[in-house]
């Protein structure tokens, strides 16, 4: 039975590999809407993006999305949109309803680089998890392997799945990874470095899986609502908030569980080994856990390396000219716009990148590959 379960877990690598291949193939065709969504709610409208040109506003709730294939829920913005293909959005704005005509654009270069990096990191997790699982199979490595699979599933951008069933199955797996990762954190550190959970510790592990299962059941209700085209926006927003809090709680409990064997370690050498093992786990999974947590709780907050996502193609053009040493007047003449317009673009760029001086702006742009050096 144990060998059969181990073989079944190994087969999880197949759908994960297929998802990564689909993400890699679809990367050049991913749409850019200029909207940051939290469920069906518009959290941020990026300046001069397709969403801003369509008239979207922060706080809008997307009720339905219409395209050539019919009517869809807000998830269509992520899974079915393609650059240049118009969408009609029916949004609720306060008590009123409005129709918006949105034409997604191609991804800006900064977005594409960020998504490619996340895809590479996800592939690394699959390789590491698969290698560890092939070398040793026990409860500790099982939890580690499943954690790697979960990270690999959550990091890449959502591929634009064609068949509706494929998109639905992807969302089910994504929901499972989101809500069970905290349970796996708890389970992993309850076993770490070589423990067998009993009594209260075993109860904590079971409780973790109970919470994960309850949230997964709620996510299935939301996903079924998507499939039968029943809007469940408030429930979905509440579920995302609960999942984010659960993620934070799972990480916190995991750290507490590590502290227990560290405090009980009888020698300096044992503590040193625990510190090294914990540091490796923290450096490997910590940044990704923080990334997922911030993305879940505050999707509109730009992360380091992600700030360029707030720049529009025109702003990137202005940024290049600034780095070339041109003044506002010279940029205005070259782009055939007013000096006032260039000044506004410059201010928007500095706000988006969180820099306050032109010298800082040039250094940041060159260091992060936002412009081409002279």
Report H helices in the chain: 2-10, 13-26, 50-54, 76-79, 109-135, 139-154, 164-191, 199-227, 233-264, 268-297, 313-323, 328-335, 339-353, 358-367
State the pLDDT at residue 274: 61
- What is the spatial distance between Cα 108 and Cα 106, in angstroms, rounded to a whole number? 6
Torsion of CA 154, 158, 164, 168, to 10 degrees: 20
The answer as to CATH 2.30.42.10 being correct for domain 32-106 is: yes
Domain ranges of the chain: 32-106, 161-297, 311-367
Token couple for 23: 């993400």
pLDDT at 244: 81
The pTM assigned to this predicted structure is 0.68
Decide which of 3.40.710.10, 1.10.10.10, 2.40.30.40, 1.10.260.40 is the CATH code for 311-367: 1.10.10.10
Q: How far is CA 210 from the centre of its chain?
A: 24
* pLDDT(88) > 80: yes
pLDDT confidence tier of residue 161, bands split at 50, 70 and 90? low
CA distance 332 to 341: 8
The pLDDT, as a whole number, for residue 300 is: 47
Confidence of residue 240 (pLDDT cuts 50, 70, 90): confident
- Counting residues of the chain whose pLDDT is more than 90, the rounded percentage is 11
Contacts of 115 (CB under 8 A, 6+ apart): 27, 30, 107, 156, 157
360: Cβ contacts below 8 Å, ≥ 6 apart: none
**Whether the predicted pLDDT of 348 surpasses 90:** no
Strand bridging mode 70-72 / 61-67:
antiparallel
Model confidence pLDDT, tens digit, residues 289-347 = 666 655 555 554 454 444 454 567 788 888 889 988 899 999 999 888 888 888 888 88
Q: Would you place residue 207 in the very low, low, confident or very high pLDDT band (cuts 50, 70, 90)?
A: very high
pLDDT surpasses 80 at 136: yes
As a whole number of angstroms, the distance between CA 13 and CA 259 comes to 32
């Amino acid at each position: 039975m144990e060998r059969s379960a181990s073989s079944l877990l190994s087969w999880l690598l197949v759908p994960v590999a297929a998802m990564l291949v689909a993400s890699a193939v679809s990367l050049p065709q991913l749409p850019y809407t200029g909207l940051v969504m939290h469920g069906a709610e518009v959290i941020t409208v990026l300046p001069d993006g397709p969403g801003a040109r369509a008239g979207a506003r922060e706080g809008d709730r997307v009720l339905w999305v219409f395209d050539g294939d019919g009517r869809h829920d807000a998830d269509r913005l992520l899974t079915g949109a393609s650059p240049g293909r118009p969408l009609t959005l029916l949004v609720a704005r306060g008590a009123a309803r409005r129709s918006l005509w949105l034409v997604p654009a191609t991804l800006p270069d900064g977005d594409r680089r960020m998504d490619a990096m996340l895809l590479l990191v996800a592939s690394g997790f699959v390789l590491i998890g698969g290698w560890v699982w092939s070398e040793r199979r026990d409860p500790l490595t099982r939890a580690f392997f499943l954690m790697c699979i979960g990270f690999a599933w959550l990091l890449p951008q959502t591929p634009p799945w064609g068949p509706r069933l494929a998109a639905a199955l992807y969302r089910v797996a994504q929901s499972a990874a989101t809500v069970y990762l905290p349970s796996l954190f708890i389970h992993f550190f309850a076993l770490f470095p070589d423990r067998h959970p009993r009594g209260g510790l075993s109860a904590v592990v079971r409780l973790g899986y109970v919470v994960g299962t309850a949230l997964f059941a709620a996510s299935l209700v939301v996903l079924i609502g998507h499939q039968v085209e029943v809007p469940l926006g408030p429930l979905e927003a509440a579920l995302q908030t609960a999942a984010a809090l659960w993620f934070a709680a799972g990480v916190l409990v995991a750290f507490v569980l590590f502290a227990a064997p560290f405090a009980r370690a009888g020698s300096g050498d044992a503590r040193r080994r625990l510190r090294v093992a914990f540091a490796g786990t923290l450096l490997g999974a910590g940044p990704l856990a923080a990334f997922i947590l911030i993305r879940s709780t505050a999707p509109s907050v730009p992360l380091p390396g992600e700030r360029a996502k707030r720049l529009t193609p025109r702003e990137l053009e202005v940024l290049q000219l600034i780095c070339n040493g041109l003044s506002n007047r010279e940029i205005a003449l070259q782009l055939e716009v007013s000096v006032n317009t260039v000044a506004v673009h410059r201010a928007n760029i500095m706000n988006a990148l969180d820099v306050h001086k032109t010298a800082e702006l040039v250094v940041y742009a060159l260091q992060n590959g936002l412009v081409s050096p002279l």
